Amino acid sequence: MLLLEALKLAAEALYEASDTAFLELLAAFEGEEHLFETTLSLRSFLMSQPAPWDWLDNSLNLYSLEGTELLAQPIYQSLLKEYCSQANQSIDLLKAGRKLLPIEYTAQLSHLDNEIMLLNYLVLEPKDLSQYLSRLHGIKFNTLTWDKNSPKIDRVCDLRDKAKDIINKQRKKLDGALKTEAEKLAMQKPHLEALFSFVRQVDDIYAALKKERCVIDFSDMEHLALRALADVGVAATLKNKFDYIFVDEYQDSSRIQESIINAIRKDSNIFLVGDVKQSIYRFRQADPGLFIEKLEEFGAQAKNSRVIHLNMNFRSSKPVIDAINAVFSRIMSKEAAELAYDENAALKCAEFNKEAGALAGVEFHLLEFSEFEAVSAKMEARLAAKRIHELMKTGVLCNRLSGISHPLRYSDFAILLRSAKPVALDWAQTLADMGIPAYVQLTGGYFDSMEVKVFLSLLRLLDNRRQDIPLLSALLSPVFGFSEADLIELKTCYTASSFFERLMLCENDAAHPLALSAKKVLNRLEYFQRELQLLPLSEFLAKLLDETGFYNCIGALTNGRERQANLDALLERARDYSENFGESDLWSFLQYMEEAESKVEIGPAQAGAADVVRVLSMHAAKGLEFPIVICAGLGKEFNRSDSKEKLILERTLGAGIKLRIGSVKYETLMKEAIKLSVLNQRAAEEMRVLYVGMSRAQKRLLLIGSTKKLEALIEKAQQSKLSPYECQNAKSFLDWLLPVSFEYEELKVKVHPAGEFLDTPAPGKTLAEPIDNEQALLEALKAHLSWQYPHEAAALTPSKRSVSELLQTKRIESAVPLFVETSMQTPKKRGIAAHAVLANLNFSAYNRQNADCFVKSEVERLVNEGIITKAQAESAPVQEIAGFLRSGLAQRLLKSQRVERELEFSVYMPANTLMQTESTEPVLLQGVIDCCFLENGKWVLLDYKTDAVYKPLEDAAQEHAKQLELYSKALSELTKLPVAKRYVVLLSKDTAVAV
């Protein structure tokens, strides 16, 4: 939130100054949204660098270079290397075509040999892109002729066309672009300077805001530590302090973390542990290159260094390990994945896992599907459900430690998806339809959980009742219990501009069956809006969860504890928000949550030990293991959207930008180089994600993928050689897995044609027979719908209620609208402050002479002792409290030998004594009594009211009579002493009224 505030403040300052560079930058980014997103992304990247501002300067300097000096830079050498890799793929394609030619095709063989020779010269150590382009111009793909003695072979032509296409695209890309590169960079430099200046300003303002609030963020911890370690003395002290440094999960380290470690390490006192094949957090600025560098450095037999390969696998069965090795030995190479899957990287099966029993194995399923991702997910889910049912019929799992066997349970299965968020709920629903309980664990899916969505809708409704979507969500929730049919009824019966107005019309339509329900909804909304004015935000949210019964209702659902934990987290965020930002109004909190939803990933509570199939992402599964793993959605195309951004960043190469200047969008080779590098890094990361997913399996691994072009995909896989170029340009996991399946018998794919897994009933169930007799159908429906549970009254009786919920009391009797304040302090703040002071007054120090001075001194004491805040002290109605102390009722209180203040109670009482019901089931009544004191062996009960009163005093007091009656019952039940008198103390009127 502070960073977003800093972003807005920086922009506002530049707007006010009419800063030309900023306004042009804004136009180039085509609006604030893209510019702000890019700025935040840039800053996040910078904070992972040891010297962020130096990195900016070095990147910007590249935009001033020209000619051979420019082309000699690492970024252009990187592009040259990539182009050579592409040309090598062309050579491989031509060689593959040549192998298909019979020996008698002498002319065609000679033709291809000449083209291969030209391409070999093309990639023969060109010094720069200029020389490479010069060689490109020397390559001509003349027409390949055929005759009756050597008829055309289509497959050879296809391979040659692909080779030509690669080279022609390179020529087209470099022609012209190379000559104008320096000119384009010079045109873009002012915009890049403006962007870099803007991100510096944002960071400066952000730093000031944090300093003002005495807070730091995580990146501050790193940079402050690194700044301290720049002092030679500090670094030396810490070096001498540590005998050894151990770093776990080293593959997930960033460059700045590496700099901190290097500042305090000695030459031979560091121990690094990790598996670079499981480095899957590059999007969080983790750099697997660090691990690879150390692997090469330590493996070169350097002095005082040693590499220990921990490749013995104690988790997985031999079939699973063999499949993993088969796949990654083919696709994970130094060229394609930054590291080679060699004998040191390959997994070795522990001896006790080599005989894993009938359950051990690997399956590979391929489905054909329609255009829609959701349809493919449901089809894959039905296939998975079928296999789960089949395995559970006969499968037995043996615990290797205890030796105890048990039949397979649902909790022995996990379904891993590359990205769970789009389709995980479809998976869970389909599994449920097939009779399989499932739990969806969405990393970063906190805001997608049903309970959080519904509760936030309720809060939005309380903030503004005239919002249809939150209102409909709340009405359908357990809080109000409307059905979809009820909403349709309201929609069709009443004509109004909003659903809230329809509720109001229904409330006034006494003849309508939903009139009473509508009235209850409106009354409860009014009640909670008034409570909101009185209580601190976090207390109000807790009260709302409790008094609506929503918290308990959610707890009764599947995975109720996890769902309640999500709501607890929401309360905690409300507390943190109030403490950190000093805001306690609902609107600001909702704005904060909306920002969090769009910018921050908040994970849900973890699943417990329930017997359910878990559906989660491969990222979320890292570090976990499951007896049977189903890796699904393997045909889904990789997300490469980050390579299409206006600004692309790479640590070693710099910043590439594509902006609109006037009416033209300029693309540079610099951006192309960075884009290709980022795409290659992304492909390597996807390989590691697949490795993590497959290696979670203990006994059995199922691979499931689907495609809408089944025949084309299979043909492509059969022809693939899995060259580094092909691996880097794979569109999905299937592009890697299918070619391996044709080489590795144990991974042989089972193909399922379209339609095999369309809608099917759960195993053991059949579709209902149609009822021909319409009257019989109606009678059956009536009988079913009219049945009543014999103990309905008891079932509908809540197990717990607070006094305020029973009464829906109006604790602020103001006749003016809630948004109008009668003084500088809101009624809510006055009420909180008054109750806090009255609950903590030291009555024994009161001298009965100067009440005003006494209350003022007590308020000061309470502030000094930290019982109330300064803000509460300013809100406290000192004169009104002093007026009460001068009253005769207060004199009676002061004489009493037993006084109770803020007395919390929880007592069980028969339901029919508290509400309109026939049930005598016990209900736990809860509440807080402001004050009570003993007089002649009986209680006198007081309830303080601080708000303004605009009606006769008796009428105002009588509104609380029922509340005090319930307090009396509870107090008598709790203490076994009678209540003699009950008073409503109207502080604003200096009056106590007996009720």
For every residue of 930-967, DSSP letters joined together read: EEEEEETTEEEEEEEE-S---S-HHHHHHTTHHHHHHH
User: What's residue 161's pLDDT?
Assistant: 95
Residue 817 has pLDDT above 50, yes or no: no
Closest CA to 804 of 462, 554, 531, 607: 531
**Residue 904 C-alpha from the chain's centroid:** 39
Q: Which has the minimum average pLDDT: 201-215, 461-475, 778-792?
A: 778-792
User: What's residue 701's pLDDT?
Assistant: 98
Q: Which residues pair with 942 in a beta bridge?
A: 931, 983
Other Cβ atoms less than 10 A from the Cβ of 937: the count is 8
User: What's residue 445's pLDDT?
Assistant: 58
pLDDT tens readout for residues 266-297: 888 999 999 999 999 888 888 999 999 988 88
For residues 779, 784, 785 and 789, what is the CA-based torsion angle, rounded to 10 degrees? Answer: 140
Other Cβ atoms less than 10 A from the Cβ of 250: the count is 23
Helix (H) or strand (E) holding 907: strand 899-910
Pairwise CA distance, residues 418 & 737, whole Å: 15
**How does residue 109 score in pLDDT terms, banded at 50, 70 and 90?**
very high
**Same fold: 352-443+611-641+695-752 with 800-994:** no
Q: Which residues pair with 901 in a beta bridge?
A: 931
Closest CA to 948 of 533, 584, 532: 533
Residue 676 has pLDDT above 70, yes or no: yes
User: What's residue 814's pLDDT?
Assistant: 37
User: What's residue 758's pLDDT?
Assistant: 62
3-class secondary structure, 537: helix
Q: Which has the minimum average pLDDT: 536-545, 776-785, 916-925?
A: 776-785
3-class secondary structure, 647: strand
User: What's residue 20's pLDDT?
Assistant: 93
User: What's residue 442's pLDDT?
Assistant: 60
More confident residue, 814 or 118: 118
Closest CA to 466 of 417, 501, 428: 501
Q: Say what percent of the chain tops pLDDT 70.
A: 88
**How does residue 94 score in pLDDT terms, banded at 50, 70 and 90?**
very high
Scanning the structure block, which residue is given the tokens 């470690």?
A: 261
What's the CATH number for 352-443+611-641+695-752?
A: 3.40.50.300
* Top-confidence range, 136-145, 392-401, 706-715, 799-808: 136-145
For the chain, the first-to-last Cα distance in angstroms comes to 49
More confident residue, 103 or 819: 103
What's the CATH number for 218-308?
A: 3.40.50.300
Pairwise CA distance, residues 807 & 941, whole Å: 18
> How high does pLDDT run on average in the chain?
85
Token representation of residue 927: 């509440």
**How does residue 816 score in pLDDT terms, banded at 50, 70 and 90?**
very low
446-599: which CATH architecture? Orthogonal Bundle (1.10)
HEC states along 128-144?
CHHHHHHHHCCCCCCCC
* Residues 922, 908 contacting (CB under 8 angstroms): yes
**Phi, psi angles (nearest 5°) of residue 983:** -125, 135
pLDDT tens readout for residues 605-639: 444 456 889 999 999 899 999 999 999 999 999 98
Token representation of residue 495: 């004509």
270-272/245-247 β-pairing: parallel
Residue 782 has pLDDT above 60, yes or no: no
Mean pLDDT of 232-240: 94
pLDDT tens readout for residues 861-904: 998 887 888 888 988 999 999 999 999 999 999 989 899 998 88
Mean pLDDT of 126-133: 94
Mean pLDDT of 510-524: 90
**How does residue 705 score in pLDDT terms, banded at 50, 70 and 90?**
very high
pLDDT tens readout for residues 658-670: 877 766 777 899 9
pLDDT tens readout for residues 48-64: 999 999 999 999 999 99
3-class secondary structure, 438: strand
Pairwise CA distance, residues 423 & 421, whole Å: 6
Parse the chain into domains and list their residue ranges. Answer: 1-215, 218-308, 352-443+611-641+695-752, 446-599, 800-994
Pairwise CA distance, residues 790 & 786, whole Å: 12
Token representation of residue 650: 């790479």
pLDDT tens readout for residues 831-856: 888 998 999 998 888 877 688 899 99
pLDDT tens readout for residues 381-432: 999 999 999 999 988 887 766 667 889 999 999 999 998 777 887 888 889 8
CATH code 3.40.50.300 for 800-994: no
User: What's residue 602's pLDDT?
Assistant: 46
**How does residue 711 score in pLDDT terms, banded at 50, 70 and 90?**
confident
User: What's residue 264's pLDDT?
Assistant: 94
Pairwise CA distance, residues 605 & 432, whole Å: 21
pLDDT tens readout for residues 582-611: 656 787 788 778 777 655 444 444 444 568
**How does residue 496 score in pLDDT terms, banded at 50, 70 and 90?**
confident
User: What's residue 728's pLDDT?
Assistant: 94
